[in-house]
Amino acid sequence: MEDSRGFVFKITVIGNGAVGKTSLIKKYTQGSFQKDYIKTLGAQFSKYDEKIDNNNIKLFFWDIAGQEEFNFMRPTFYKGSKAAIIVFSQENNAHGKESIESIAQWHDDIKKYCGELPIVLFGNKIDLVKDKNANDKKIKKIVKERNFLGYYKTSAKTGNGVYEAFQAIINELYARFKDNT
C-alpha cells in the first residue's frame, strides 16, 4: 500500500502469551526494555517511521494478545496485514516448548484470515538459554516446511538480533511493494 507520502505497512506480531512480543516491538521502536511483564489485552499497536531508498515507510506493528481468551478478536485484528512476525520463546522450559509447538497453529490462524503473507519467525529470550543452538534443527525444519522468510534469534532485553529481524520483514515488504507502484 502506498500513499502520497510513501508506503504504509501493517505488520501483525503474534505468538503465545509472555513470549516477548510487546518487548520486542518496544525494543525496536523505542530502544527500551521493561523488565516486568504486562499482559496485552486484545491488541495494541505501535507506529514507526523508516526510510528506505529515500522513500518514507510508515509501519504499524499490531501486537496481538497471545492468550486464548482473545481468540475471538483475532480475525478483526489480522485484517489488512501485509506481513506477520511469529514469536516464540527460546526458554528451555514448558513455556518455551509450548510456544514452539504453537508456531504451526499461529501460522494456520493468520493464513486462514489473510492468505499467504511474508512471515518471519523470532526465537526470543535467547539471553536466557545456555545452548543458543538447542532448537535450531527443529526450527529450521518448520521454517522450510512453512516457507517462512527466515528465523532470527532475538533478545528484547539485550537487543541481540532485534534490529536485523525487524529489518528482514520491512525490507521484504518494501521490495515487494516498490515494484507495484
Residues 6+ apart with CB under 8 A from 59: 9, 11, 47, 48, 49, 50, 170
Long-range contacts of 127-131 (CB under 8 A, 24+ apart): 127/155, 127/157, 127/158, 127/160, 128/90, 128/91, 129/90, 129/91, 129/92, 130/92, 131/92
| DSSP structure class, residue 74 | H
Q: Where are the alpha helices (DSSP H) in 2-161?
A: 21-30, 74-78, 94-101, 103-114, 136-146
What's the CA gap between 23 and 40, in Å, rounded? Answer: 11
Give 40's pLDDT tier (boundaries 50, 70, 90): low
User: Buried b / exposed e across 35-45, counting CB within 10 Å, b at 16+?
Assistant: eeeeebeebeb
Take residue 5 and report the three cell numbers written for it.
Answer: 507520502
Asked if the model's pLDDT at residue 19 lies above 60, the reply is yes
pLDDT of res. 2: 46
Give the mean pLDDT of 19-48: 80
Task: Quote the pTM value.
Answer: 0.92
Q: Could you tell me which residue, 114 or 34, shows the higher pLDDT? A: 114
What are the chain's domains? 1-83+90-99+159-181 (3.40.50.300)
* Element counts in the chain: helices (H) and strands (E): 6, 7
Take residue 105 and report the three cell numbers written for it.
Answer: 497453529
